[in-house]
Structure 1
Amino acid sequence: MTTLHIREARADDWEAVWPFFHDIVRQASTYGIDPDIDMAAAKTLWFDVPEKSYVALLDNQIAGTYYLKTNHAGPGRHVCNCGYMVSADARGQGLATQMCRHSQQIAKAMGYLAMQFNFVAASNIGAIRLWEKLGFAVQGRLPRAFQHPEYGLTDALVMYKWL
């Protein structure tokens, strides 16, 4: 039986996160992050800038991660933004579902009223299906905003959920 534990990330967790983060970003098919980002800049982006970053452990091995941050300051500070990544060998085990549920609980505890995903590639059907299952709705479509390596110019979606 596989055990799942999600906890706040520590700086020394980055060594375990970097290989799958790098693999996902290098594929350039789901995230609008420079595929050539180096390890230090990636750590800053994912672990240091967000208000909170978490790791998901399957049988005590880091298999996923997410960040949580304010989407916009000032009058928009009640809306947060999250990003999630799961290692290739841990996919299909419900890890993204559990991290998204966990992030919503944390967001509520931090006083956020809504969660927004700013740039979901329309070609990322699995993620869109999951976010909709978890109560997110498409609120906007950015035509040809994502350059997919296989499909070319692809729409990007803005997805939103009132918490």
Structure 2
Amino acid sequence: MGSPSFAEYLHVSKELMHVFILLILAWVLIGLSRSLVRVFRNYMHTRISSAEEGRRVETLARVFRYTSTAAISLVAGMLALSVIGVSIAPFLGAAGVVGVAVGFGAQNLIKDYFNGFFMLVENQIRQGDVVEVCGKTGVVEDITLR
């Protein structure tokens, strides 16, 4: 059991360099996606006529920015693990099982987020609207996904 050879050090350094490049690429892609969301948001602000629509655009921009950042980070993490030789198949299998369990457990929460997203996109309810829910009447002050 001797000391590692130069070839082994070279192999490890190549893997680390690939991971480093992958992380830089992910960082650039996250920055690019945020810039695209910002450009879209600014473009939409030039097309809207009310402050209410502006708040709606801001909410949608936040959702898209978060979703793109999470997706890019997840893919980059899986690729980095793959590059250094860690099999991602067990992670994906475990994620599937956990996803099913969380899906059943948080079914109402997930349903609320999807309903909130579609309410925002379809503009079903607006700030300032008077609503009645379960016999209670009130004014909509803020709209979020949940």
TM-score (norm: length of structure 2) = 0.26
Q: Which has the higher strand share?
A: 1
Structure with bigger gyration radius: 2
